[in-house]
Amino acid sequence: MDASGVSAPLSEIPPRGIAWFDLDGTLIAWDCQLLFRHFVLRREPWRGLFLPVFLAFVPLAGLLGAAGLKRVFLCYLWRMDAATVVEYSREFAAEVMPAIYPELREKLEQHRRAGDFLILASASPEFYVAEIGRELGFDLTLGTPVELGPFFPDLENHKGHAKVVRLRQVLPASYFAGGKLIHSHGYTDSRADLPMLELCAKATVVNPSPALTADAEAAGWEFVRPARPWKSRGGFAVRALGMLLGCGRF
């Protein structure tokens, strides 16, 4: 893939169909930002010293917004050189493959067999999302562009309507008809992706919240409810805290 996340030059001839997938909560149960932090801390435990900085800013989440809080969260990567980021991203992508929901991997393979153009669009940092896309064989992978270097790295949060804007910038106009992606099917677990679902002729929601369930039922969308790797909210909280601290299982 090149810097834009394209595995090969895009033809102006539209594909037979298009399938796009969200990543966190959709292809995989976890937020990959937690998983990648855990992956890094297992190799460089000293980076856990930056956790108090993130926790100090959490009460300001409403003021900072999702993009601002993401910048603070990523401070643990401060002064990591580019070659190490690339190496870790590739290793992480390979290691995370067994955690992909089998049900969603089968959906992905069905679209591949049908000859559909495959898009992975995530709000997670693009430096490892691109590698996950490569492992899974996506034709186009887009994530949050992050410029590491500053203590709070610069980024353009690839979330919600921002996914739509970027997709229209990257894809040829021939991939759209009547304001929608041609012969398209979208997969997500989040209401934040409703702008993306509006581009699609069909949609499938994954382990949806009550609000997204209501949206899906009203629109006639499909449901997939794969088993999550935790039994309760308490179990999820314990596992998530362990990842935040770099402890426990991956």
**pLDDT tens per residue, the chain (250 residues)?**
444 455 567 888 899 999 999 999 999 999 999 999 999 999 999 999 999 999 999 999 999 999 999 999 999 999 999 999 999 999 999 999 999 999 999 999 999 999 999 999 999 999 999 999 999 999 999 999 999 999 999 999 999 999 999 999 999 999 999 989 999 999 999 999 999 999 999 999 999 999 999 999 999 999 999 999 998 999 899 988 889 988 877 6
The span from the CA of 107 to the CA of 26, in Å, is 11
Burial 172-187 (b: 16+ CB within 10 A, else e): eeebbeeeebbbbbbb
Q: Which of the listed CATH numbers 3.90.1300.10, 3.40.50.1000, 3.40.50.1820, 3.40.50.300 matches domain 18-245?
A: 3.40.50.1000
Per-domain residue ranges of the chain? 18-245
- Partnered with residue 117 across adjacent β-strands are 18
Beta bridge partners of 154: 147
- With tokens 């594909």, the residue in question is 15
How do strand 117-125 and strand 140-144 relate by DSSP bridges? parallel
**pTM, 2 dp:** 0.93
Q: Token digits for 99? A: 């955690």
